[in-house]
Amino acid sequence: MCDYNSLTEEEKLHYHELLLEATEKFGGKNFFLHLLEAIRETKPHPIIAANRIFTMELGEIKWNKTIFKDKLQLLQKIRTGEGERQNLLPPESDKGYKKSLNLVRTLKPIVFHVKPADRESGPGFFFQPFEVVDEKTTRLNPLFDALFFCAIGTVKKLLNYKVR
C-alpha cells in the first residue's frame, strides 16, 4: 500500500475509501494527518511502548499486547516485499518463513483502538494488524500500515485520490 505508483486504480479507490472512513471517525483529515505526524516524530517507535498506549493532544491509540523491538524490526523487514508477493509471508522455502509465521501468530490477536480526545469529533475506530486471506496468505491491514509505516505523503495522496 505504501508504494502509491504501483497501486492499481481499484486499489487506490479501495484505500481512499478505507482511509476516508477512518478519518471521519477520528475527526477529519487534518486531525488524522496530525496523528500520523505525531507517530512519525515519536522515537522510539510508539508501537513498542511498554504501556501499550500512544497519546497526543488530539487522541490516543491503545492496544492489548506489548510488541517488542525485535518483532517490530522483523515486521518492517518483511512488509517491504509484501506488494510484490501479494503476501506478507515469504515463500515457505525462505529461510525466514518460520520467524515470519510466528510473528503473524503473535501479533494477529492484537486490537488497536484509535479514539479522538473529543468525543464529538467522532467515535474512533479499531482494527487488527493483519488481514488473513487464507491459510497461506496474510496481508497487512491498510489502516495499520498507514498509521505506523507509510510515508505521510502517500497517505495524503490516497486521501485526496479522485477517480479518473
pLDDT of residue 133: 85
Question: Are the beta carbons of 137 and 101 closer than 8 angstroms?
Answer: no
Cell, residue 82: 509484501
DSSP reduced 3-state for 60: strand
115: amino acid identity, one letter: K
pLDDT of residue 84: 81
> 164 vs 11, which has greater pLDDT?
11
- Kindly report the pTM of this predicted structure: 0.90
**Which residue from 48, 54, 103, 83 is spatially nearest to 154, judged by alpha carbons?**
83
pLDDT of residue 135: 81
pLDDT per position as a tens digit, 37-78: 999 999 999 999 999 999 999 999 999 999 999 999 999 999
Summarize the confidence of residues 22-39 as an average pLDDT. 93
What percent of the chain shows pLDDT beyond 70? 100
Cell, residue 60: 490516543
Question: Are the beta carbons of 129 and 107 closer than 8 angstroms?
Answer: yes
**Which residue from 138, 73, 143 is spatially nearest to 105, judged by alpha carbons?**
138
Q: Where are the alpha helices (DSSP H) in 108-151?
A: 142-148
Sheet containing strand 112-116, edge to edge, reads 53-56, 59-63, 112-116, 125-127
pLDDT of residue 163: 79
pLDDT per position as a tens digit, 71-101: 999 999 998 888 788 889 888 999 989 999 9
pLDDT of residue 68: 95
What percent of the chain shows pLDDT beyond 90? 73
Summarize the confidence of residues 3-27 as an average pLDDT. 92
Question: Are the beta carbons of 77 and 95 closer than 8 angstroms?
Answer: no
Query: Length of the chain in residues, anyone?
Result: 164
pLDDT of residue 129: 94
Residues 6+ away with beta carbon under 8 Å from 134? none
